[in-house]
Amino acid sequence: MRRKVLSTSLMILLLGTTILGCSSGDSKTGEADKGTPSGSTEATTYPIQTDKTLTYWGEINGNLIGVKNSHSEIPFFQKWQEKTGVPLKFTAPPTGQVRESFNVMLASGDLPDMLEYNFIGDFPGGPEKAINDGYILKLNDLIDQYAPNLKKYLQDNPDIDKMVKTDSGSYYVFPFIRGDEYLRVFQGPIIRKDWLDELGLPVPETIDEWTTTLRAFKEKKGASAPFSVVSKPRFFNDSGNGAFLGAFGVNRGFYQEDGKIKFGPAEEGFKEYLTLFQEWYKEGLIDKNISTADTKSVDGNLASGATGASVGNAGGGIGKWQPLVEANDPDAVLVAAPYPVLKKGDIPKFGQLNQGYASEGTVAITTAAKDPELAVRMLDYGYSEEGHMFFNFGEEGVSYNMEGDYPKFTDLLLKNPDKLAPAQAISLYARSSYNGPFVQDKRYAEQFFALQTQRDAIDVWKNTQAAKYNLPSITPTPEESSEYATIMNDINTLVDEMTIKIILGNESVDQFESYVAKMKSLHLDRAIEIQTAALERYNNR
């Protein structure tokens, strides 16, 4: 029977695509407790005394590719076992093949004790289906009895508690939580401040000011690609100038407004956005190779002075590009620009803002776990006071020292003797620069952002109304999942086609209405119905 379940589920997984994960509103395991765990919880003393070894499956962070070959070579994972007292045997999927390796593992029936995976984003049917199909455990009782640290955090933070369980109230992972709003915003427009000063221009705030600025970059600074962004994934809409969509009152996907769910690319504001970018492209204000631009070409454009504005992260954007532009022009300065608006003084409607709960880096306990209680006790360490410091800063005296009540990273991380970048060195000794089963601390980011311009960028980019309009982490039910995936795969393909053709001038912007009609024929209204029902279930959690 077990093999039959595995085989059937694998077929579903292999047929699935990168859809939003889904949660069941009518769990086969019965009605779950919708509140936080509330029983008698046993405290754990670390290190735990045990002779058992647990197995752990998870990806090695991208920062460490080429630096270390396995978890067992990484100081953080060595010390994690020492601090918790629980020996671990690690298995890691090949880089870039997480989903494929996960599917093969499920088909084999050889599951580890613990599984680090994105069950909302990458498991068709979502976490409730993963529980119902017999892959992972529902954790409600286990957290209630053996995870006092996570239990207390969820009780003290009901907004996070709502996010980390399914519609029917099932807890399914030990979550990664961004512990401060400062950590939820990290991306936005970036511009050459030295060029603006030289040209007597302000940091642009409105679309009209952006047009004036890009023209000046082209005409007076000789920039051949005044504005350039990485084109993929999701050409134009996920990368770069998705940042400009909000000026026209829409975003690149679903959002909520006036009690209704809307799909940005089907709204009139998207047509206005396409009109602007078609004009910018025709005028040479956008990189002529925008449809194929990759990270290397954008880096090269900025370094050479061909580009004066882009969109990127505080770390991987300003942090990476500042030394590149400085190498060619010692006076170069990159700063954040606010998300654009149409009317000066308005607050941007949309901007990059992640949820407090991130489904990446979360850890589930599988049905094959030899000792679920031991796994729970080990994972709960990350939410203890000691575990919080360890996950965020590593080992005191090695990777950080306390200066008063502030944990200060040592030069081993910030000025690594082996010439590792801070992101790489931090990833060796802590998990704060990516994710994991813990609550992320903003004090890591304050040091990771070594430049004042990086720290300032967060304050600039966070001034939006995104929290009001963005959808929370809602999920279709397993039954709705396949239908929703089919609809949105077709619609997203159509949106990509529309965006490319119109912006590059291969099609008139007047064709926008025909594309919207096509979206409706592909059952956009049904997708909105599914999203609306999912939002209602989320609000009732």
- The answer as to whether 206 is a domain residue is yes
* Residue of 32, 33, 36 lying closest to 155 (CA atoms): 36
* Residue of 227, 483, 194, 465 lying closest to 330 (CA atoms): 194
State which amino acid sits at residue 402.
M
Q: How many residues does the chain have?
A: 541
Cα dist from 477 to 129, 181, 454, 485, 531, whole Å: 9, 29, 40, 12, 10
291 vs 277: CA distance, rounded Å: 13
Beta strands 174-178 and 309-313, pairing class:
unpaired
Domain range for 136 is 54-180+357-440
Q: Are 131 and 365 in contact (CB under 8 A)?
A: no
- The answer as to whether 90 is a domain residue is yes
Q: What are phi and psi of 192, to 5 degrees?
A: -75, 100
Q: Is the whole-model pTM more than 0.85? A: no
The last residue of one of the domains, among 424, 440, 456, is 440
For the chain, the domain total comes to: 2
Q: Are residues 220 and 315 in the same domain?
A: yes
State the pLDDT at residue 231. Answer: 78
- The answer as to whether 98 is a domain residue is yes
CB atoms within 10 A of CB 419: 8
pLDDT in tens, 143-201: 999 999 999 999 999 999 999 999 999 999 999 999 998 899 999 999 999 999 999 99
Q: Are residues 73 and 197 in the same domain?
A: no
Q: Are residues 204 and 333 in the same domain?
A: yes
Q: 454 in helix, strand or coil?
A: helix
128 vs 168: CA distance, rounded Å: 8
Q: Are residues 163 and 246 in the same domain?
A: no
Q: Are 502 and 274 in contact (CB under 8 A)?
A: yes
Q: What count of Cα atoms within 13 Å lies in the side-chain half-sphere of residue 282?
A: 13
pLDDT in tens, 466-506: 999 999 988 888 888 889 989 999 999 999 999 999 999 99
Q: Are residues 422 and 476 in the same domain?
A: no
- The answer as to whether 13 is a domain residue is no
State the pLDDT at residue 37. Answer: 61
Q: What are phi and psi of 325, to 5 degrees?
A: -75, -30
**Which domain CATH number covers 421?**
3.40.190.10
- The answer as to whether 425 is a domain residue is yes
- The answer as to whether 169 is a domain residue is yes
Q: Are residues 299 and 222 in the same domain?
A: yes
State which amino acid sits at residue 456.
D
The last residue of one of the domains, among 440, 456, 488, is 440
Give the pLDDT means over successive 10-residue stretches in the chain (541 positions): 38 34 32 53 92 97 89 97 98 90 95 96 88 96 98 96 94 97 93 98 98 98 95 51 88 93 97 96 95 89 97 89 94 98 96 92 97 98 98 98 98 94 93 95 92 94 94 86 90 93 96 98 98 94 88
Which tokens go with 376? 């729970």
**How would you label 506-517 residue by residue, b for 16+ Cβ within 10 Å and e otherwise?**
ebebeebeebbe
Which tokens go with 22? 């889904």
257 vs 259: CA distance, rounded Å: 5
The last residue of one of the domains, among 405, 422, 440, is 440
Q: Walk across the sheet containing 357-365 and list its strands.
A: 88-91, 54-57, 114-116, 357-365, 174-178, 439-440
Q: 207 in helix, strand or coil?
A: helix
CB atoms within 10 A of CB 540: 10
Q: Are residues 411 and 516 in the same domain?
A: no
Q: Are residues 298 and 226 in the same domain?
A: yes
263 vs 71: CA distance, rounded Å: 41
